Chains A and B, each alone.
Chain A
Amino acid sequence: MLGWELAPYNTGGLGVASLGLTQALAPMVRDIHFFLPDYTGSDSVFSHMNVIGAAGASGVTAPSLLPTSYSDFSSVTHEHSRKALHHGPAAFSSWYAQASVATSNQIHGKTSPEIIHAHDWMTYEAAQRVQDTTTSTPFVAHIHATEFDRAGGSEGHPAIHAIEQAGLTAADKVIAVSGYTAQIVNERYKIPSHKIAVIHNGVDQSQKPLPTSSFPLKGKHPVVLFIGRVTTMKGPEHFLRAAATVHASCPQARFLFCGSGDLEARTKELAAQLGLTGSIIFSPFLRGSDVQKAYAMADVVVIPSRSEPFGLVAVEAIQQGTPIVLTKQSGAAEVLPTVAQADHWDEALLAKHILTLISEPEVARAQVASAQKALTYLSWERAAKQVRDVYDELLHGAPVLNLAS
C-alpha cells in the first residue's frame, strides 16, 4: 500500500482512514507493506502491518523535499504538503515514485506484490512505476479526495489534476469513498462506472460518547462548531456567514471554529467583519481526544464543505451524539439521509437548520437517533471486506466469499 499519512501522523481524514482500513484489512490478507514518504519510528499502533518510510528505506533521499523525521508530526505533515507544492507536485510525485520502486524492490526482491493499493494523487505515480516492475500485479487507485474537492469545485492545480487523471486512467480499479466521489471520478475524469467501486469509509465503532456536563459553555450558550482544515474545500466562509445570521437572532450562541489551513487569516478577518468578536472562539487544528471534546462541547456541528468526498466529521459528531448540519455536496449525506442538509451556497438555509437544532432539542435528539442507527452500517470491517472483494475480483475475476474466516 502506498500512503501519504497515517494517524496519528496526520493532518486530515486520509491518515485516519488509512489506519482504520489497514487495521480491519490486515487479518484478511497475507501482509500489508505500507509506504509513507518518510517514517523511521516503530509505533505499536502500526503493529498490524509493516510501515516503511520510503525516503530512508530506498536511499533515494530528497533532503530538500522532506524533513528527516516525524518527531513533530503535525508540522511535518504540513511541511510535506508545503514543500510538495513549493517544489511542484510533479517533482514530489516522481521522487516518491522513484523511492517507492527502490523500496518495493528491496522488500519483494525477485517476487512481486500481489496488489498495489494507492491512496490519493501523491501516490499514484509511485503505484504506476511499481506496477511497471511487475508482470501483472493489479493497481487499485483509492480516491479519498479529488483535486476538484480540494479546489472547492473548480479545476484546481493543473499538475495535480494531470497526475490524478493519469493514475485513475492507469488503475485497474478505482475505489471511491462515496457515490458522490464516484460521480466526480466518472464525470470529471471520464473513468467508466464499471471500473469504479464505491466503498464508504468505516468509522471507529469503539468510540464512546463523552459526558457533556464538564464543559462550562454547555447549557449556558448554544455552541455551534466548525472543525476541519481551513481551506476552500471545507467552506469555512459559509460557516461564518451562517453564524452571523444565527448570531443576529440568537445572540447567546457561541461559535467554535477549530482548524488550521491556508484560509486561516482570511476567516479571522471575515469573522471580525461579521461582528463575531467576543462570540467566536478560535482554535488551531485539534487532535486526539480534543476532537471528541469539541464535538461533546457543541450543540450542533456544521459541515459546510463545498465538495466533500466523505466527511468523517459528520460521522464522528453523530457518534458523540451531537446533531449536524451537512452540505449536500458530501459523501456522508448518502449514508446519513435524515440529517439536516443544505446546498453549500445556501447560507440562509444552513443558518435556519442551525437555529432549529439549537432551539428545538426534540428535533436534535430525533436527528441524532436516526443518524446513529444509520451508522451501524459504517464499520471498518465492512469496508475492509469490500476492499478484499475488489482484490479478489482483480486476482480471480470474482469475489471469493468468506476468505477471511
Chain B
Amino acid sequence: MPAVCFYFQVHQPYRLRQITPFEVGTHPDYFDSLNEEVCRKVAEKCYLPTNAIFLEHLKKYPDFRISYSISGITLEQFERWTPEVLKSFQDLAATGRVEFLGETYYHSLASLFDGREFRQQVAAHTAVIQKYFGQTPTTFRNTELIYSDGIADMVSEMGFKAMLSEGVDRVLGWRSPNVVYETATTKPMALLLKNYRLSDDIAFRFSARDWSAWPLGADTFAHWLHSLDGSAETINLFMDYETFGEHQWAETGIFEFLKALPEAVYRNPQFSFQTPSVLASDFPRHGSLSIPQAISWADSERDLSAWLGNAMQDDAITKLYSLHDLVMSKNNTALLHEWRLLQTSDHFYYLCTKYWSDGDVHKYFSSFESPHHAYMAFTNVLTDFIMKLEGTSQAAAAPTKPHRGIPAGRVHRKV
C-alpha cells in the first residue's frame, strides 16, 4: 500500500537592495523593489496555474492529498502584492486534504544559532497558518530541511508529531528513505525522509535534454514509482513549489506532466497520495534514526555548507545573531521584525563561494552579480541596522516600512 507524499516548499525571500554609503544612517528601505516583481511573476508563472491544477485533482480524486510549507514572509508578500495567490491556497486548504507544515516564519537558520529565536519564529509561523488556513501545523519542516537530533528535540518539545528531512545517503547507509522512521528524541516524532532521486527527477532533471529519461512523461514516472511496490511504504517527493512553471518553464511540459500524474499513479490501485500527518499517525515506524550532525537538502553535500563556512557567511551571521539582546532590549516590534528579516537563510546562501560544486544553482537563485556583491549589500544594511539599534542614525529607532501581516503579539510571546 505505498503512499506518495508530496510536500512543496513555497518561499520567496525579501531580497536586499544595494544601499549606498550615503544612505547608511538615513534608515533607507533595505529591500529591493525586485521582490514585488518576482512575487508577481512567480504568481503568474507558477503559483496560480499550479494551484489550479491541484485544485482540479483534489476535486476529481476523493483521496488525493498534498502538503505545503509556506514561509511567513512569503505569506506577507502574497497579502501585499498577490492576494489572489493567498486566496487560491485558501481554496486548496478548504478541501480538507491539504496539510500546511510548520516552519520558521522568517525561513531562518535560527535553529542553529538561537533556540529562543527559533521557538518564537516557529510560534509566529503557527499563528499565521492558523490565521490564513485555519489549521494548526503538526508536522515540522525546518528551513531547507535542516535537521539534527538537537533541532528535532526542540521541535518535539513544541508539540509537533512529525518532522521532514533529506534522505542523505551517508546517514541512511543501507536503509531506505521509503519508510517512516522515528526521531531520536525524548518525545519521539515520525521522521520522513525525502527520496531525493525521484524528487530531483522532477525538480532538477525534468528539462535536462542530456538526461537519458528526457522527455519525462507521467507514465514513465508512475512506472518508476510502481516498481517500488513491495519495498516502499511511502515515497516522499519533496521539492520547491517553484519547480512548476518557474524552475521548469511551462514550455518544458511540466504542467502536462503534473496534470497526468495522479491518474498514472492510480493505475496501480495499491497506490495512494498521503500527507505527512497521515503517515505519522497511520504508518508503521521502522526504528529510530539518530542524526547528530546537521543535514539539509541543499547542494550535493547536503550539509550546512550552502549557508555557512566561508568568512563572509560566518561573520555576517555571527554579527547578526550577536545583536539578539540589543534588539530585544528595544521592545520595538518593527525593529524586531526587521532584524528577523535579515535572518532569512537566502541572504547567506547568496554569499556561498562553492563555485565548483553547485555554483550554478546558487547563481540561479541569487539576484546579485556575485557572492561578494551580496556581501556588500549585507554589510551595508547591517551597518545601518546597527546604527538604528544604537540610536545613532538620523531618526533614531525609526524602522523602515512596516510590513503588514505580522502577528505582532505572537512574535514577542515566549513559547
Are chains A and B native binding partners rather than an unrelated pairing? yes
B311: which of A215, A269, A280 is its contact (CB, 8 Å)?
A269
* Bound CA–CA A282/B316 (angstroms): 14
B21: which of A264, A271, A283 is its contact (CB, 8 Å)?
A283
Q: Is A278 an interface residue (CB 8 A)?
A: yes
Q: Is B110 an interface residue (CB 8 A)?
A: no
Q: Is B392 an interface residue (CB 8 A)?
A: yes
Q: Mark A272-296, 1 if CB is under 8 A from B, else 0.
A: 1101111111110000001001100
CB distance from B131 to the nearest CB of A (A): 34
- The interface size bin for chain A is 20 to 34
CB distance from A243 to the nearest CB of B (A): 13
A272: which of B26, B314, B370, B380 is its contact (CB, 8 Å)?
B314
* Bound CA–CA A293/B22 (angstroms): 8
A268, B372: Cβ atoms closer than 8 Å? yes
* Bound CA–CA A256/B379 (angstroms): 11
* Interface of B (DSSP majority class): helix
Set of chain B residues within 8 Å of A269, measured between Cβ atoms: 310-312, 372
A278, B311: Cβ atoms closer than 8 Å? no
Q: Is B276 an interface residue (CB 8 A)?
A: no
CB distance from A212 to the nearest CB of B (A): 13
A281, B379: Cβ atoms closer than 8 Å? yes
Q: Please, which residue of chain A has its CB at the minimum distance from the CB of B382? A: A278
CB distance from B59 to the nearest CB of A (A): 51
Q: Is B231 an interface residue (CB 8 A)?
A: no
B392, A220: Cβ atoms closer than 8 Å? yes
A272, B24: Cβ atoms closer than 8 Å? no
Set of chain B residues within 8 Å of A279, measured between Cβ atoms: 383, 386
A273, B311: Cβ atoms closer than 8 Å? yes
**Given A265-B370, A269-B310, A278-B383, A217 contacting B315 (CB threshold 8 A):** no
**Given A256-B21, A258-B21, A297-B21, A216 contacting B26 (CB threshold 8 A):** yes
Q: Is A353 an interface residue (CB 8 A)?
A: no
CB distance from A393 to the nearest CB of B (A): 46
B387: which of A221, A268, A271, A294 is its contact (CB, 8 Å)?
A221
B394, A272: Cβ atoms closer than 8 Å? no
CB distance from A159 to the nearest CB of B (A): 29
Q: Is A200 an interface residue (CB 8 A)?
A: no
B386, A216: Cβ atoms closer than 8 Å? no
Which 7 pairs of residues, A with B, have the shortest CB-CB distance? A216-B25, A220-B392, A272-B311, A278-B382, A272-B315, A282-B376, A273-B311
Binding site for A on B (CB under 8 A): 20-22, 24-26, 310-312, 314-316, 319-320, 370, 372, 375-376, 378-380, 382-383, 385-387, 392-394
Q: Could you give 21 example pairs across A and B, Cβ below 8 Å?
A: A217-B25, A254-B383, A258-B21, A269-B310, A272-B316, A275-B315, A275-B319, A277-B315, A277-B319, A277-B378, A277-B379, A278-B382, A278-B385, A278-B386, A279-B386, A281-B379, A282-B375, A282-B376, A283-B20, A283-B21, A290-B22
